[in-house]
Amino acid sequence: MTEAEVDERIRALIKPFNNKGVSIEPETTFANDLEFDSLTVMDFVAEIEDEFDIIISMNQQAEIENYGQLITAVHKLQDN
């Protein structure tokens, strides 16, 4: 799966969590721009893990601060 395909699928997953209607760009941050709290992050990560049949470790989650980093991380996990 290409990064573009990963991006498309994650954009669909993020819609229900994007309550403020923030424009999703590679530099969009989850904490500041989208204002995700820890529960929202956990729910969103669970959706991604189910969709792509992957596991995103707590260490990886801590390193992912923006949307672009998430796309790259999921794409790499898909290759493993």
The tally of domains found in the chain comes to 1
**Is the pLDDT assigned to residue 18 strictly greater than 90?**
yes
Closest by CA position to 40, among listed 20, 59, 54, 23: 20
The CATH number that applies at residue 52 is 1.10.1200.10
Contact indicator for 56, 47 with CB cutoff of 8 Å: no
DSSP code, position 19: T
pLDDT digit string (tens) for 21-80?
A: 999 999 999 999 999 999 999 999 999 999 999 999 999 999 999 999 999 999 999 876
Q: What count of Cα atoms within 13 Å lies in the side-chain half-sphere of residue 24?
A: 20
Domain enclosing residue 61, as ranges: 3-79
Task: Give the pLDDT score at 79.
Answer: 73
Residue 3 pLDDT grade (very low, low, confident, very high; cuts 50, 70, 90): very high
Instruction: Specify the pTM.
Output: 0.93
